[in-house]
Structure formats: C-alpha cells, structure tokens
Amino acid sequence: MIYPAALLLVCACLGLAVVGRIGVLAAGGILIPMEMAAAVSLGGASVNVADLYYLIVAAYVTISFFASGNLQVSRSVRLPLAICVYAIFATLILPQVFAGKVLVFSVSGESGVRVSSRYLASLVPLHFSMSNISQLFYTLAVMVYVILFAHEARRRGAAVLERILVLATLSHAAMSLAEAVGLDLSFLRTADYRDLGQASVLGSRRIVGMFAEASTAGVFSSASLAYFAFRFLASSRPLHFVLASIMAALTLATLSSTAFAGLAAFAAFLVVRSVFAQKTKSRGKRLLLLAVFLVLVLLGFLLFSGDGSRATDFLTRLVLDKGASRSGLERAAWTVHGWQLFKATYGLGVGAGSTIANSLLIVWLANFGLIGTVLYLLLVARALPGRGRVETAAEPSIYPAALAGFCTLLGAMMASHTLPNLQISFALFLTLCISTRPIRLSRRMESRRQGGAGCDPAMLV
C-alpha cells in the first residue's frame, strides 16, 4: 500500500533541498521524528518517510560513487558492512536452526502461552516470519545510514550532520505542538507497527509528536537535549539554548520512564565530565552550573500543574513504581527471557525480529548472539575518545556535545529498547561522534606525517 500524503512529504523535502539550499542530507532531518508516517507498507512491514528519503539519497550516492570510477573503500565502512553480513546470516539461518526448539515473545503479537495474568505478552515457538524480514530491513537500513552520514561528513564536514539534528528537533517540536493543541494527525499515523502514542499517565496525555510511543520519543528528546545543552556550553549561541529548552520540555512531556533514564544518563555524563574536565578549573565549574541549571529547569516543568504533589505522583508512577507496573513487569520478563534465549541458543541468538527483548544489550544478545553483539560494541567504541597521541578534531566544539548526546541515547536505550531496529537517531549521533572525535595517530601514520606524507583522516575513523 502507498500513502500519498507521506509521499508528498518526501517529495516536499527533496524539493526544499534543491530550492532552499539547505542540502539534500539536511532536509531529511525534517522527516526523522515522523516515525509513524509510513510512505509504503508491504505485507505488514512499513517503510516510513525518513527511511524512504534516506534510502533514496543513499542509492543516489552509491550510483555516483561507482560512476566516479574511484572505488577505494574507506576502512570506516568495513565494520558496518560486517554487521550487515552477519545480520543477514543470523536472520535467515538461525530461526531455521532453532525453529520449534525455543519459545519467543513474538514481535508481531501472535497469541501463545501467557506467562502472567498481569500483562498480555505470551510465548510462541520460534519460527521464521515477516517480522524477521522487516527487522532485518531496518537493521541493514541503519548501517546504510551510518555509512551515508560518515561519507557526507568526510566530504562536507560534521556541520551537515548538525543541521540534520537541528531540523529534526524543530520538526519534532512542531509535531508535538500540533498534537498538544489537538490537531488531528491520524492521516499521517499510517505505519503498521503498534501505535502507542495515544496513551496517558494519571489522566495526562503523553505528548510524543509523530513517534510511535513515548519511549522512542523520550530517547530522541533526551539525547537532543544533551547535545544542544553542551553546544550552548561551548558556543553560548541563543539557538542552542532555545533548542535545549524545547527538548527539555518535550522530554518531560513524554511522561516516559525511558526519558527519565535518558536524563539520568545525561546527569551521570555531566558528573563524569565535570570530574575529568582537563582544560581549566572554570571548565568543571561551568559544567556543574549547567547541571544545576538543567535540574532547576526540569523541576520547573515537573511542577507545571502548580501542585507539588502532582509532580510527586508523576515521579512515583514513572520512576519509583515502574518495576511493579504492568509495563515494568512485562519489560522485566522480556529482559530475563532474552538472556535465557542467548544461553539456550549457545550464544548464537535467534535472528533479527524473532523475539522482543528489553535493554539494548539484551536485544543484541538475544537476536544476534555474542558475535553480533561484539560487532555492535566495536562500532559503538568508535564514538569514544581514544588514548595516546591525538590530532585535534576538525570541529572540536561539536565532539563533546555529540558524545553527550550519544551517551544519553545509549543510556535511554539500555533501559527500554526492545527491537533490533536502532532508528536513524542512533546512526546520526554515532556518526556525529565518529566524524568529530580527535584522531588517534598510529606510529606508522605519525612517521609518515613527520616524513612529509599526509594522512587521510577518513582512514582513521
């Protein structure tokens, strides 16, 4: 099925990129928060507008690459390609190997053996299904985005990735405002996967914009808050302050435990950064002042009802009593069973889309096993600062912000991510870190540089 309204959005962004001079890659940022806007639906698998847009761009870049005749592949591409190859193997082979031998929480919501009367999740025998194909598609797509974003960052600088994030943030703010004032967005919420965006907490509706559920909205909002807060720390630009404030409001408006997990990860990052700040003592003080400021802002938003007990009720429901709630118990069951699947399959996993799990690490272990998890962890490690002699990053003010955003995103996903689909925001924050982190020089590269030979930073990513 094709959805004309969503396709018009894709065409509008392509036209804006050509006419508005904001760049083809950046224009797609407008579509990133529109998770529920399916452009095409094929047998229960939805391709949303952002996926379609960036896959079109990736296809164009790939064709141009081969047409140029310069077929040298950067080392930075090898790890994402390795993940793609292993994901294909794991998804097509492992469900066949372990079919009927283990029970899984079905991604497609098939009914089976209920494990508790307190929630609806049920176990079914493992078998190959359309969920495997759809989750494999999303897994490969995210790796394509990593390669695409890294390629464009090398060509045009990391600022192009920041423009994507700025436009995505403004788009999410616009969609959330439209939802808050009561505009009907159902004509765009056409994706086949579960739409949990209409839920409420203690009578207050969650504001998630065009995301499918509060947890994914909370992941994006909290990570963007961390990024723009750190950008404001470095640049003092009013735009970064405004965007950080908007994201603080939207993070809390999701009324999501995942969002609070993201805020906790950001707070931990601030503390560590303050302790190990190396430039000056004032640097550490500025970071602590930022932490205090954010706490005051968040408390202000929590008291939006004007009743302190109301804020306490929200905190109790979303944080303190989360483990005893239906959602908390269900997620705990997903976590435990995901670990059991990892052990029952001898560390191989059951393939992408075979089971729901909870927590990013458990999702990797249950779906891709030890080998896939190690590959993903190696990819994540490329975002972290290296040791030894380093060159100054090409855009040093962006890297601390990108690292703050990525660590916040990882913290939130470790709390409640359930499927192999890592979303475009994962690829965006990861490549922001990779493309701006200080470059570590090997002895061979250092000797080449001392001898007068240049080195390509892209080869050191």
More confident residue, 351 or 328: 351
Q: Measured in whole angstroms, how far is the alpha carbon of residue 202 from the centre of its chain?
A: 28
C-alpha span between 197 and 179 (Å, rounded): 10
**Which tens digits make up the pLDDT trace of 62-83?**
888 777 766 566 667 889 999 9
- Give the list of residues 6+ apart from residue 337 with CB closer than 8 angstroms, or none: 104, 105, 123, 355, 357, 366
First to last CA, the chain: 40
- Whether the Cβ atoms of residue 165 and residue 224 lie closer than 8 Å to each other: yes
Place of tokens 């290296």: 386
Report the pLDDT value the prediction gives residue 254, as an integer from 0 to 100: 84
Taking residues 35-42, what's their average pLDDT?
A: 84
C-alpha span between 326 and 113 (Å, rounded): 17
Strands (DSSP E) found in 373-443: 390-391, 439-440
The token pair at 413 is 């996903």
Report the pLDDT value the prediction gives residue 276, as an integer from 0 to 100: 67
More confident residue, 217 or 23: 217
Taking residues 416-438, what's their average pLDDT?
A: 92
**Which tens digits make up the pLDDT trace of 283-314?**
555 565 566 556 655 555 555 544 444 555 55
Radius of gyration for the alpha carbons in the chain, expressed in angstroms and rounded: 22
- Classify burial at 451, counting beta carbons within 10 Å of its beta carbon; exposed 0-12, middle 13-18, buried 19 or more: exposed
User: Which neighbouring-strand residues pair with 40?
Assistant: 2, 47
- Whether 6 has a pLDDT exceeding 70, the answer reads yes
Half-sphere exposure of 219 (CA within 13 A, CB side): 28
C-alpha span between 81 and 375 (Å, rounded): 10
Report the pLDDT value the prediction gives residue 17, as an integer from 0 to 100: 82
Ranges 88-97, 371-380, 446-455: which has the least confidence: 446-455
The token pair at 32 is 């990133």
- Whether 457 has a pLDDT exceeding 50, the answer reads no
- Give the list of residues 6+ apart from residue 176 with CB closer than 8 angstroms, or none: 207, 208, 209, 250, 253
C-alpha span between 302 and 129 (Å, rounded): 43
C-alpha span between 7 and 13 (Å, rounded): 10
Report the pLDDT value the prediction gives residue 296, as an integer from 0 to 100: 54
Taking residues 269-282, what's their average pLDDT?
A: 67
Place of tokens 């591409």: 77
